[in-house]
A and B are shown apart, each in its own frame.
Chain A
Amino acid sequence: MASYEELQESVITGQKDKVEGIANSLLDGGIKPREIIPKGLLPGMSVVGQRFKTGEMFIPEVIASAAAMNRGLEILKPLIVGNELSDMSAGKVVIGTVQGDVHNIGKSLVGMMMESGGFTVMDIGIDVPADKFVEAVEEEKPNILGLSALLTTTIPLMKDVIEALKRSNLRDKVHVMVGGAPITQEFADSIGADAYAADAVSAVDKAKQLMS
């Protein structure tokens, strides 16, 4: 039977097929899926996160690792019953790019790193109007709402989302995180966001701080 170390290494090196094979091998060996995820997949991604933070791993390599981890999750998640899955989650995140802005890459990268950090992520896409964010918060009840914008012209719309949450009496029910190239801590403070992250790795750290 394969080992957790091999599974971790396959995640780190981004080998999807190998992750699938090892996950199945561990299942065949009688290991429970709720043990394989925290002992094999997530520790592998944790190493990836650390190596990305120190500049040892590059973004495409991180994406390959995340894809490998997701291949494992696709096999294991359906086998987990009851509340075990949500109990394992570090928290729920809804993330999207604000209205008028169709930039996807940075937002997706943050979502991916959040998933790697153990969060359950719901990506609601690009060019998202304020009322759609409100709707998602109402329905999904996330712990964190992530707002992304790349254009200098669309960052003011982040404030609109926060105002819309206030009007719907949802502002105190969700942490709001903002990010994107033109965003600064000062801007985040000025619109009343709970956190700002300058890159995808620090976004995970900030999210964990918000959850603690």
Chain B
Amino acid sequence: MVNSLELKVLTQEEIGTIRDKCLEFLSTKGVKVEHPEVLKTLAREGAQVSFDDQTVRFPKDIIETTLRYTPKSFSLWGRRNYSEYYEMAIPHPDGLFYTATNTGAVTYHDIDSNTFRDVTVADTAEWAQLMEVSEGIDICAFPTIGDVPGEVADIYALKTYFENTAKHVWIQPHSAESMGYLIELSIAVAGSKENLKKRPIVSACSNSVTPLQFVPMEMNTLLQCARHGVPLYLCGLPSTGATSPITIAGTVLLSAIENLAQVVMSQLIEPGTPVFCGHHRLTLDMATGRSLLTSVEAILGEMASAHFIEEAFQIPTFAWGYGTDSHIPDEQSMIDGTLIGQLVALAGTDVLEGAGGLDACLTINPVQLIIDNILAGIFKRIKAGVKVNDDTLAWEEIWDTAPGNNFLERPHTLKHCREALRSDLFVRDPRAIWVAEGGKDMYIRALDKYKELKKGLRPQQLPEDVQKEMNQILKQAEEHLV
């Protein structure tokens, strides 16, 4: 791995203190796990389980042993068409990160009417096609579709994604009952159980109910994904002052305890299960009661947690790296998105999620996705840092050119002149030309780009038998769940 830029948020002593407290808590106080099968497995593997109150304590030696064999690296897979796979090595081989879109949004900000409405299947299909052509988007998380029965909304979403993008998909299951169908759909597209395990084209999120409760649906997700080799985003929902302590450090500690419990459980259930650690971190605005995604404190917490997990457990991380508390793409969304992404990336996060999201991830907007796609490039370029070697130091260029003269005609300039990041959404022209071209602001330029891209969007061409199988799985799900 090359040296990319990194921000050290915590000192080694602070990291050591938090780590010790995590182990102390899990070995003495424990967590609540509401899943009989998982409780039995954990008890068999050496955890101290109280079946009466569903409390699980993890002895320190089991935690340390488990941490040693938890994968420090693994791969997610995407496809360029149905059968051509590509690998996304975690951690990123260049010390960078991957970008995922917003997960779970219930609202679609309709560009044409400037109204907020439920997300439809048609929106979801277009959203997937838009991600397919957005080079900065690596992982596609789906919204909550509102124009199909709620019991099968996640199954519709995954099927719609497979029909419209070949990129890696982030699954957010809606119920214990639907998880099996989501796995079936993934196997149908992967070709077999073995293929899915070997080259996971999907990953899934398993949440805690913060603080430190693990409910049946989420444990079912963990169980099924671990068995099928589907990488897991181990996640919670701390909201400072509400579901977690009001201080940033306290929330980082609670998040770390939750993550460690989830890691140990995943590895005791199925050793070697690939996992990310992270949280959907929020801060509760004490004046309004609204949970905020991009408050300064939420961002600092994301940074500190990512740094802690990387240093203390060496497990890959994910965090919100895009998104805003603003309800529309505006000046605030630009500031929020730039701050959170830049800082969370520099803190060493492996997957930055939330692209295209507004309103603390409850709303998606295609123009915001266009903007976040550009931001992804900027964050990556900055994260890559400054390369210093004989070629980049340009010693001979300086020696041969200066004093006086200029570097425009140098072969070295010609060689490197296309390396600078140059977004077509940013104004580079002199004012006279900008005015002549309509004097458009950033939002309008992004809107134009969206309209242009829209003309070329198209679905994936899936083999007929795969499409048939997916249709059949959805039909069965509707018959059983609705």
Q: A102-B209, A153-B175 are in contact. Are A58 and B287 (CB under 8 A)?
A: yes
A105 — nearest CB in chain B belongs to which residue?
B242
Q: A105-B242, A182-B106, A186-B118 are in contact. Are A153 and B287 (CB under 8 A)?
A: no
14 A–B pairs (Cβ distance < 8 Å), ordered by A: A58-B286, A100-B175, A102-B213, A105-B243, A109-B289, A152-B105, A152-B144, A152-B362, A153-B144, A153-B150, A153-B174, A156-B150, A186-B118, A187-B118
A199 touches B289 (CB 8 A): yes
Which A residues lie within 8 Å of B150 (CB)? 153, 155-157
Q: A152-B104, A200-B289 are in contact. Are A181 and B362 (CB under 8 A)?
A: yes
Contact with A along B148-184 (1 / 0, CB 8 A): 0111011000000000000000000011000000000
Q: How far is the CA of A106 from the CA of B289 in the complex (A)?
A: 8
Q: How far is the CB of A151 from chain B (nearest CB, A)?
A: 9
Judged by a CB distance under 8 angstroms, whether B272 is at the interface is no
B241 touches A155 (CB 8 A): no
Interface pairs A-B: 6 shortest CB-CB = A156-B150, A58-B286, A153-B174, A152-B144, A55-B287, A152-B106
**Per DSSP, are chain A's interface residues mostly helix, strand or loop, or mixed?**
loop
Q: How far is the CB of B294 from chain A (nearest CB, A)?
A: 15
Which B residues lie within 8 Å of A184 (CB)? 107, 116
Q: How far is the CA of A199 from the CA of B284 in the complex (A)?
A: 13
B362 touches A182 (CB 8 A): yes
A102 touches B144 (CB 8 A): no
Which B residues lie within 8 Å of A59 (CB)? 241, 284, 286-287, 289
Within 8 A of B (CB), among A131-189: 152-153, 155-157, 181-182, 184, 186-187
Judged by a CB distance under 8 angstroms, whether B349 is at the interface is no
B217 touches A100 (CB 8 A): yes
Judged by a CB distance under 8 angstroms, whether A60 is at the interface is yes
Q: How far is the CA of A200 from the CA of B287 in the complex (A)?
A: 11
Q: How far is the CB of A148 from chain B (nearest CB, A)?
A: 12
Q: How far is the CB of B107 from chain A (nearest CB, A)?
A: 7
Interfacial residues, chain A to chain B (CB-CB below 8 A): 52, 55, 57-60, 100, 102-103, 105-106, 109, 152-153, 155-157, 181-182, 184, 186-187, 199-200
Which B residues lie within 8 Å of A58 (CB)? 286-287
A183 — nearest CB in chain B belongs to which residue?
B106
Most buried by A among B174, B289, B291, B360: B289
B241 touches A60 (CB 8 A): yes
Q: A153-B144, A182-B362 are in contact. Are A102 and B291 (CB under 8 A)?
A: no
Judged by a CB distance under 8 angstroms, whether B117 is at the interface is yes
Q: How far is the CA of A58 from the CA of B283 in the complex (A)?
A: 14
Q: How far is the CB of A191 from chain B (nearest CB, A)?
A: 11
Contact with A along B231-256 (1 / 0, CB 8 A): 00000000101110000000000000
Which A residues lie within 8 Å of B65 (CB)? none
A60 touches B286 (CB 8 A): yes
Q: How far is the CA of A191 from the CA of B204 in the complex (A)?
A: 30
Q: How far is the CB of A142 from chain B (nearest CB, A)?
A: 23
B284 — nearest CB in chain A belongs to which residue?
A59
B291 touches A181 (CB 8 A): yes
Q: A102-B215, A105-B243 are in contact. Are A186 and B106 (CB under 8 A)?
A: no
Q: How far is the CA of A25 from the CA of B175 in the complex (A)?
A: 55
Q: How far is the CA of A68 from the CA of B151 in the complex (A)?
A: 43
B288 touches A199 (CB 8 A): yes
Q: How far is the CA of A182 from the CA of B174 in the complex (A)?
A: 14
Within 8 A of A (CB), among B248-283: none
Which A residues lie within 8 Å of B291 (CB)? 181
Q: How far is the CB of A205 from chain B (nearest CB, A)?
A: 15
Q: How far is the CA of A39 from the CA of B360 in the complex (A)?
A: 41
Which A residues lie within 8 Å of B213 (CB)? 102
Q: How far is the CA of A184 from the CA of B104 in the complex (A)?
A: 15
Q: How far is the CB of B213 from chain A (nearest CB, A)?
A: 7
Q: How far is the CB of A180 from chain B (nearest CB, A)?
A: 11
